[in-house]
């Protein structure tokens, strides 16, 4: 059972390790680069902490390794276990792309059905109308959520919600740890 | 105004209608208020009394409105209890008059009434009637109220709901409620079972009353929440055995709830067998299984030859879940086919023990509620919807300010906003760290040694108590203490262990340290000072203790 404290500790450990690994080479970077490195290492830290058990972590790693320039950085950050992780991620990414095909077929079918349904009932009773409106709203928002959560585009509602739960927990851990470090660093610098 | 109010309250001991007129006499803001109060006087007593209750409740709801993200744990608690109580309806009103008789001579309450009366004025809202007691009890200061009347039914209900919600909301105190609460849920499952059974009794009655498919009774939701909690206890990554036992419990609950009082044992057995593999499969995720299996499972739906294909897969799992999935595949049809694909791809094939059975019996047996379509399509659809709503309830606990919200669309909206804000915070913080730290050498040791105490005091106060920060949860403290225990197990000397842990973390970091050798020495001294200061006379073993560990918690809490 992942407790929040161990989550934070794990995250911090990996994050520091990753940062050290990638700063050892380059000596000076501008602010944006640093920010990118920080964020990237944080993302990868938590994603590797999950060890590919959750979809969003896999998607994060996959995204990180997709661009070539990031890939080297990511590999370095992940360290020795990177190849295992990336391999695992790539297999899952394969299924994701296949899911895409199926999903497009579903979308096509669904749109046909909905068109048919709309044509049938010209004047629907209030309740049904309200229901359909609510359904549209929910669908729209689900789409947005899918875009937000990494790797969420190809999941059904149920797993999407679970992924969101996990992702929220991770984001909170990340924010807390980063905030602590930031404030502590500020205090150091002010001394 | 306060004195006058006191006087009038004392006068209207037994006469709620008097109270209503006195309300209009007070001449609170809003012309329509007086009009409506007068108009309501001839109405039933409870209505008039409930106005005053509304006042109290509105004050509480306004406070909860104000700090939406702040320490709203108790507000959530109160509000959810309110929601639970709202369904009790009119019989509560009989006791309201008693409460108001008691609640006299309370000028402070009147002042709050004055403030908030304008904001919430909905005398016909039965919801707020339920709000009266609980918001008063929880959100307002205790000294404002005398205890509730000894309404035995009321107390029993309160006990029941608080028992349930206590289990629920103690978990909310963890910022990462997802993992922790799962464990706590499973632990508290025993407690909740008792309450849930009480609920199930009434819930089943209402279930059999024939609801629409979308609506779920509050009690049903409550029981589902129990099952959800248990289910998520399973989903938390516990070993499969635990998952099975917990999902057994969950499916047991679900079957109890669904069977509509018919008590069909076979149903329950099927469900428990079926629900068995639900959680582990959910955990595995879509990508775990090869895609071919997903395709095959879709084919299975067409052929209905589950038994033949599944042994071919050579899976060691039990049958029910896959069968259930197939039901879903069949039934959901075009609605959400990807869901079934993904889910079935996550499952192993079932054993061929029931190869010869017709497809229907292999599937999960979900009894249709009275008045609902028994079409297998809709049954599976309903199962899916219930699962989704369970997850949404869990999310409600996680996302702040969502306990009052009902309905998927608004919940999703809140979730989206929350995730977006968290992501933005991460961006901002990483930028800040980049600017603050020119060399990206986060000197963790140095941070901990030099700054942990002053910064911890500062950050804990900011993190814990600043209501404007969305992340400022008081629950951070318990998690910090948990940190100590997690990070310093069985410590003999705290400073040594701290050093050891940090060093072990940082050994790969050869490069970026500034003065690595000096710091440990500095740290030792500082730590010793700190320890002596903070511990006082308490022995180091006290650090294991939750309460005693707060001082030492300041050491490690950075992590």
Point out the residues of chain B with pLDDT beneath 70: 1-369, 372-373, 405, 438-559
Cβ–Cβ gap A180/B459 under 8 Å: yes
Which of the residues A55, A73, A99, A156 would you substitute to probe the B interface, choosing the one with the greatest number of B C-beta atoms within 10 Å? A156
B133 to chain A, closest Cα gap in Å: 33
- Name the residue facing A99 among B214, B290, B342 (closest C-beta): B342
Cβ-contact B73, B157 below 8 angstroms: no
Distance (Å, rounded) from C-alpha A179 to C-alpha B497? 25
CA triplet A115, A120, A124: central angle to 5 degrees?
105
Residues 376-395, chain B, touching A (beta carbon < 8 A): 384, 387-388, 391-392, 394-395
Q: What is the pLDDT of residue A138?
A: 83
Q: What is the pLDDT of residue B512?
A: 40
Distance (Å, rounded) from C-alpha A179 to C-alpha B64? 26
Is B95 in CB contact (< 8 Å) with chain A? no
- Name the residue facing A141 among B342, B409, B509 (closest C-beta): B409
Q: What is the dihedral of CA B474, B476, B480, B481, to 10 degrees?
A: 40
Tell which residue, B37, B161, B47, has the closest CA to residue B93. B47
Tell which residue, B342, B339, B519, has the closest CA to residue B443. B519
- Name the residue facing A1 among B214, B237, B431 (closest C-beta): B237
Distance (Å, rounded) from C-alpha B294 to C-alpha A102? 11
- Name the residue facing A184 among B180, B422, B558 (closest C-beta): B558
Q: What is the pLDDT of residue A66?
A: 63
A93 to chain B, closest Cα gap in Å: 8
- 3-state percent breakdown (helix, strand, coil) of chain A, nearest 5: 85, 0, 15
Mean of the per-residue pLDDT values of chain B: 49
DSSP state of B305: -
Distance (Å, rounded) from C-alpha B363 to C-alpha B388? 20
B157 to chain A, closest Cα gap in Å: 31
Q: What is the pLDDT of residue B362?
A: 55
Q: CB burial class (10 A; 0-12, 13-18, 19+) of residue B196?
A: buried
Residues 60-89, chain A, touching B (beta carbon < 8 A): none
How do residues B464-492 score in pLDDT, each as one tens digit? 333 344 444 444 444 444 444 443 343 33
Q: How confident is the model at residue A71 (pLDDT cuts 50, 70, 90)?
A: low
Distance (Å, rounded) from C-alpha B403 to C-alpha B138? 15
Residues 271-310, chain B, touching A (beta carbon < 8 A): 282-283, 285-288, 290-291, 294
Q: Which of chain A's residues have a Cβ under 8 Å away from the Cβ of B236?
A: 1-2
Closest residue in B to A54 (Cα) is B285
Q: How confident is the model at residue A14 (pLDDT cuts 50, 70, 90)?
A: confident
Q: What is the pTM of this model?
A: 0.41
Cβ-contact A51, A78 below 8 angstroms: no
Q: How confident is the model at residue A154 (pLDDT cuts 50, 70, 90)?
A: confident
- Name the residue facing A54 among B285, B290, B458 (closest C-beta): B285
Tell which residue, B21, B360, B15, B398, has the closest CA to residue B176. B398
Cβ–Cβ gap A145/B416 under 8 Å: yes
Closest residue in B to A161 (Cα) is B391
Average pLDDT for A131-156: 80
Asked if this assembly's ipTM is beyond 0.85, the reply is no
Distance (Å, rounded) from C-alpha B209 to C-alpha B207? 5
Q: What is the pLDDT of residue B295?
A: 43
Is A130 in CB contact (< 8 Å) with chain B? no
**Residues contacting B58, CB < 8 A, separation 6+:** B116, B117, B119, B120, B121, B128
Q: What is the pLDDT of residue B152?
A: 60
How do residues B170-225 score in pLDDT, each as one tens digit? 444 444 444 444 444 444 444 444 444 444 444 444 444 444 444 444 444 444 44
- Name the residue facing A173 among B176, B429, B458 (closest C-beta): B176
Q: What is the dihedral of CA B407, B254, B84, B187, to 10 degrees?
A: -110
Asked if pLDDT for residue A22 goes beyond 60, the answer is yes
Distance (Å, rounded) from C-alpha B75 to C-alpha B55? 16
Cβ–Cβ gap B335/A110 under 8 Å: yes
Q: What is the pLDDT of residue A182?
A: 83
HEC secondary structure over B174-209: CCCHHHHHHHHHHHHHHHHHHHHHHHHHHHHHHHHC
Closest residue in B to A146 (Cα) is B416
Closest residue in A to B485 (Cα) is A5
């Amino acid at each position: 059972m992942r407790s929040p404290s161990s989550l934070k500790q794990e995250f911090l450990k990996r994050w520091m390790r990753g940062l050290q690994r990638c700063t050892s080479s380059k000596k000076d970077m501008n602010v944006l680069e640093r920010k990118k490195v920080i964020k990237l290492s944080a993302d990868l830290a938590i994603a590797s902490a999950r060890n590919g058990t959750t979809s969003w972590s896999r998607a994060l790693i996959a995204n990180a390794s997709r661009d070539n320039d990031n890939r080297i950085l990511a590999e370095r950050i992940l360290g020795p276990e990177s190849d295992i992780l990336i391999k695992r991620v790539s297999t899952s990414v394969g299924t994701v792309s296949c899911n895409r095909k199926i999903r497009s077929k579903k979308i096509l079918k669904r749109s046909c059905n909905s068109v048919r349904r709309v044509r049938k009932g010209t004047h629907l009773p209030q309740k049904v109308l309200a229901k359909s409106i609510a359904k549209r709203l929910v669908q729209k928002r689900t789409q947005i959520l899918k875009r937000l959560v990494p790797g969420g585009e190809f999941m059904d509602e149920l797993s999407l919600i679970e992924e969101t739960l996990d992702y929220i927990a991770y984001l909170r851990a990340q924010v807390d740890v980063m905030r602590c470090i930031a404030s502590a660093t500020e205090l150091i610098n002010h001394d | 105004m306060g004195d006058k109010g006191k006087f009038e309250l004392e006068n209207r001991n037994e006469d709620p209608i008097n109270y209503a007129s006195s309300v209009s006499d007070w001449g609170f803001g809003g012309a329509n208020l007086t009009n409506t109060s007068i108009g309501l006087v001839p109405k039933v007593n409870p209505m008039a009394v409930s106005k005053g209750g509304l006042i109290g409740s509105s004050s509480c709801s306004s406070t909860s409105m104000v700090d939406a993200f702040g320490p709203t744990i108790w507000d959530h608690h109160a509000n959810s209890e309110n929601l639970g109580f709202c369904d009790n309806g009119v019989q509560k009103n009989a006791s309201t008059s008693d409460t108001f008789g008691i609640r006299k001579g309370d000028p402070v309450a009147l002042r709050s009434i004055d403030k908030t009366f304008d904001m919430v004025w909905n005398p016909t809202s039965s919801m707020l009637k339920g709000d009266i007691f609980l918001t008063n009890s929880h959100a307002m200061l205790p000294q404002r109220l005398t205890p509730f009347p000894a309404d035995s039914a009321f107390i029993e209900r309160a006990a029941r709901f608080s028992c349930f919600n206590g289990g629920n909301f103690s978990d909310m105190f963890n910022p990462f409620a997802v993992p922790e609460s799962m464990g706590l849920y499973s632990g508290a499952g025993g407690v909740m079972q008792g309450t849930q059974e009480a609920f199930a009794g009434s819930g089943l009655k209402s279930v059999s009353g024939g609801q629409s498919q979308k609506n779920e009774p509050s009690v049903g939701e409550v029981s589902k929440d129990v099952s959800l909690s248990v289910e998520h206890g399973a989903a938390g990554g516990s070993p499969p055995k635990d998952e099975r036992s917990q999902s057994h419990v969950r499916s047991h609950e679900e079957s109890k709830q669904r069977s509509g009082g018919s008590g069909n044992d076979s149903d329950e057995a099927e469900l428990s067998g079926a629900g068995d593999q639900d959680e582990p499969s959910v955990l595995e995720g879509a990508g775990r299984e090869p895609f071919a299996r997903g395709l095959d499972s879709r084919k299975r739906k067409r052929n209905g030859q589950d038994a033949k294909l599944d042994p071919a897969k050579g899976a060691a799992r039990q049958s029910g879940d896959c069968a259930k999935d197939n039901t879903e595949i069949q039934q959901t049809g075009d609605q959400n086919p990807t869901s079934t694909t993904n889910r079935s791809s996550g499952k192993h094939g079932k054993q061929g023990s029931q190869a010869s059975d017709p497809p229907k019996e292999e599937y999960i047996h979900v009894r249709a509620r009275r008045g609902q379509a028994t079409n297998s399509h809709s049954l599976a659809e309903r199962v899916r919807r219930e699962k989704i709503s369970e997850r949404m309830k869990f999310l409600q606990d996680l996302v702040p300010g969502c306990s009052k919200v009902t309905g998927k669309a608004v919940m999703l909206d809140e979730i989206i906003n929350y995730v977006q804000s968290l992501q933005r915070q991460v961006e901002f913080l990483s930028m800040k760290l980049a600017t603050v730290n020119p060399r990206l050498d986060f000197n963790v040791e140095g941070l901990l040694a030099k700054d942990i105490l002053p910064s911890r005091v500062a950050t804990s106060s900011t993190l814990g108590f600043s209501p404007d920060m969305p992340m400022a949860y008081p629950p951070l403290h318990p998690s910090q203490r948990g940190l100590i225990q997690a990070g310093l197990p069985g410590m003999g000397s705290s400073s040594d262990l701290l050093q050891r842990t940090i060093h072990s973390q940082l050994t790969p970091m050869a490069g970026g340290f500034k003065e690595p050798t000096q710091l440990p020495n500095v740290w030792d001294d500082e730590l010793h000072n700190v320890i002596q200061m903070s511990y006082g006379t308490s022995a180091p073993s006290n650090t294991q203790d939750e309460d005693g560990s707060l001082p030492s918690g300041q050491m490690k809490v950075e992590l």
